[in-house]
Amino acid sequence: MKKLLVILAVWSLSGCALIDAYMMARFDNNEYMLINKIRTEANLGAAKCGKPEVVAEVDGLWRTTVEFRNYTQSIPHNEEATKMGSELAEIVKGLSERYHGTEPVSMMYCTTKFSSIERNAVNIQNVIGKKPR
Amino acid sequence: MSVEINQALEAIFNTGDPSMQDLANRALALKQALEQGQISPGEYKEMVTDLYHEKNINESVQDLALKENINTAMTALINLASMY
């Protein structure tokens, strides 16, 4: 009983942050699957830099990233994942626009972008994978 | 301009924050790639902007990780309390 009172006391002291954390969105298989797909597509896409097939890789990556961003947005109490999805989409959007533009794309740009997308996807995947079940 | 960039990067290196230092290192590498003609000015601008997006992602990752830890602790405390 005393412990319960301690918990209630702690809860009431910094209520919002604790309630926010307690109510946070749970682990979602689809959300995890989508970020894993982005990571994998970025990983495999880098090997296609400098080849004509890279455009198809970029298109697939852009589609999956938009899907991930849209999916996270409709889950309640999922603000961090939504923000991460939007920021990641901004990075991938640049890659997609450049490959559909008129200017030539340098090899270093291609490999650096895929590497950046993969690194960010790994970071996001690691934290999403630890969401409470 | 180059002196200003170097001063800004040096200030970031001095923060002692490993994730910020990593971003500064990559910003420096991009600047060198631009100077050596490996990337175009447009590509450089975009990839420097990406570093800003990456900083935001890292902040959200840390926020979510903190929430997860609080959630774990709260759940454990509530389970403990329910035993009495």
Q: Which residue has the higher pLDDT, A14 or B62?
A: B62
Position A72 pLDDT exceeds 80: yes
Give the nearest chain B residue to A5 (CA atoms): B81
DSSP string of A40-80, one letter each residue: HHHHHHGGGTTSTTHHHHHHHHHHHHHHHHHHHHTSTT-HH
How far apart are the C-alpha atoms of A108 and B40, rounded to whole Å?
Answer: 10
Residue (of B54, B65, B57) closest to A112 by Cα position: B54
Largest CA distance in chain A: 70
Q: What pLDDT was estimated at residue B21? A: 86
Candidates B38, B64, B72; nearest CB to A127? B64
Summarize pLDDT for A33-60 with one digit per residue, the tens. 999 999 999 999 999 999 999 999 999 9
How far apart are the C-alpha atoms of A15 and B67, rounded to whole Å?
Answer: 13
How far apart are the C-alpha atoms of A79 and A25, rounded to whole Å?
Answer: 9
Token readout for A110 is: 């291609």
Q: Is the dihedral of CA A48, A53, A57, A62 positive or negative?
A: positive
The complex's ipTM works out to 0.86
Q: What pLDDT was estimated at residue A12? A: 60
Summarize pLDDT for A96-126 with one digit per residue, the tens. 999 999 999 999 999 999 999 999 999 999 9
Q: Which residue has the higher pLDDT, B83 or A93?
A: A93
Task: Decide: helix, strand or coil at residue B51.
Answer: helix
pLDDT grade for A15, boundaries at 50, 70 and 90: low
pTM of the model as a whole: 0.86
Give the nearest chain A residue to B52 (CA atoms): A87
Q: Does A9 touch chain B (CB under 8 A)?
A: no
Summarize pLDDT for B12-31 with one digit per residue, the tens. 778 888 888 888 889 999 99
pLDDT grade for A23, boundaries at 50, 70 and 90: confident
Q: What pLDDT was estimated at residue B58? A: 94
Q: Does A26 touch chain B (CB under 8 A)?
A: no
Distance from CA of A31 to the nearest CA of B (A): 15
* Average pLDDT, rounded, for chain A: 91
Distance from CA of B81 to the nearest CA of A (A): 5
Position A9 pLDDT exceeds 90: no
Question: Would you list the domain boundaries of chain A?
Answer: 25-128
Mean pLDDT of A68-76: 96
Q: Give residue for tokens 């309630």.
A: A19
Position A6 pLDDT exceeds 70: no
Position A16 pLDDT exceeds 80: no
Task: Decide: helix, strand or coil at residue A82.
Answer: helix
Position B5 pLDDT exceeds 80: no
* Average pLDDT, rounded, for chain B: 88
**CA-based end-to-end distance of chain A:** 27
Q: What pLDDT was estimated at residue A3? A: 60
Residue (of B62, B22, B12, B35) closest to A116 by Cα position: B22
B1 by Cβ neighbours in 10 Å (0-12 / 13-18 / 19+) ranks as: exposed
CB-CB neighbors (< 8 A) of A119 in chain B: 54
State which residues form the domain around B8. Answer: 2-81
